[in-house]
Chain A
């Protein structure tokens, strides 16, 4: 790579950093990778055109998929982005530039869909093609790298997540993407989408809540009774190895039997079909992280702290509630994070046994080889899991800080 021969065609934001540094420009190695990906992404087809939702698509490059002016504008913006990535620029600039480019990319995709759809053609489908995904990946990596290096405080991370989600909602709400094939699938089943969304959230969060209510006391009991501990952890470990599709299916008959045999159970909504078996299966998978982390969390409370509580005349119960559980809280919260992300993903399998959730669209899409339908189920699932992971990571860090200060 040429050391000093780089021509000074830098974006205005980058020049400030350069002015302070010696004349030589410093390169960012990840940036070189991202710039390379951007060039590849620009060359690959940006959108795919299909005469209807089942036939294979034909690729359209950016220049073919957009009117001339927006096409040139998008390409230039992405090239500027690549330049910002290649040169060592301030992290905040890299973050803002990548987020701006991401929203531009989304808006351009929506515009391409409108542009490529023939007038009055209700069957034609426009979907993102390889070039779009490569560009999306490159920009997301740049944003993730900037965020990871900025080491923002947890509250700021949640704030940025909220801003990104608000931006996404604004783009969706403006209707700019409505000609895209995924949104045509959505328009055909908007009611079903929100119903399944509700089921999905209910499955993931409901099973987590149940696992907390049952798992934390179980974890505490495991500390008091060593015999219980080995058995519980062994059983829960084995539960984890039962494949999800089998566990979901195996719970149908026992629950159907309970609904039939136990008076009032059916009235509570317990039944062998629908969401109940999925809820119980997810509860089973959730117990291990909750119980194990409760045990680890309480056992990691320093002995001196326990002695101090004893010295102050606390009863065992007071010590548990006022000292041990609060100190164990960050570790239990880490368990919650594991469970929630895992459950949001696993809840997609519930659709296989008629339990509902976003998996309904994924499996319908597989059955009809309609990838837009798969995306309609997969993208919200990933977004939900991703947002939950970020929020809970931030909460874990926030919960850790006061204890770290207290210990210091």
Chain B
């Protein structure tokens, strides 16, 4: 009963979000109390739906690329051939987290110019860490009996990886992808400080023109999208965990 209520709330929120993106002007009365001096209540310097799609595309591309590279690296350092890189890869992942996103963005600008490219690079780099950490946990904490059984039935290393280790580690890896995507949704807004076309544009326009309605709608759209993405991915995680448990 409770679970069904949760789904209903989420569907309603998603529909409300779509309605807002499609017909933002009809929500003007909601945001009007947050404006001063007759300022526009709805972002008027571009299409919200375009910005939202662009935002999602940047986050999506960065997350997919980060997942491919991070899982590849985790597979490499969890094989005997790459074992000597394991401690180093852990400390690099640790050190990488200490770089603030805005610094990475600003320093990528001289190389890549203003716009979407530095944001994509920063999101990719930040996306690597959660996926790598989770993939490593998933691949290195499998019960030894499972590995022994796979070896016992005569699987090669590649077969064991594809048919046993990756499927069992998948729920944990997915948890990392979820974390990475949610963090990237927020970080992408910072990309607008270096002229990336994301929903951050709306927030920054609000901050610079002292229009709280813009800040609110930009922040809400990003937050709602992030929560929905997180919910979909954690639902998938639960399904996969159940399946991995049965297998």
Contact = CB atoms under 8 A, between A and B. Distances in A.
**Is chain B a partner of chain A in the same complex?**
yes
B24 interface: no
Q: Is the interface of B mostly helix, strand, loop or mixed?
A: helix
Q: Main SS of the interface on chain A?
A: helix
B227 A349 contact: no
B90 interface: yes
A302 interface: no
B241 interface: no
A349 B103 CA distance: 10
A141 interface: yes
Interface stretch (A247-255, A293-301, A310-318): A247-255
A372 B171 CA distance: 44
A348 to B, nearest CB: 5
B95 A386 contact: yes
A146 to B, nearest CB: 9
Interface string A375-407: 101100110011001000100000000000000
Contact of A385 (B90, B100, B193): B100
B92 A242 contact: no
B76 to A, nearest CB: 12
Contact of B223 (A147, A242, A378): A242
A250 B91 contact: no
A366 interface: yes
B110 A148 contact: no
B213 to A, nearest CB: 11
Contacts of B206: 249
Interface of A: 28-30, 141, 144-145, 147-149, 237-238, 240-247, 249-250, 252-253, 341, 344-346, 348-349, 352-353, 359, 362-363, 365-366, 369, 371, 374-375, 377-378, 381-382, 385-386, 389, 393
Interface of B: 84-85, 87-88, 90-92, 94-95, 97-103, 106-107, 109-110, 182, 185-186, 189-190, 193-194, 199-200, 203-204, 206-207, 212, 215-216, 218-219, 222-223, 226-227, 230
17 contacts: A30-B84, A144-B91, A243-B186, A243-B199, A243-B218, A244-B186, A244-B190, A245-B204, A246-B215, A246-B216, A250-B215, A253-B212, A348-B103, A366-B194, A369-B110, A377-B103, A378-B102
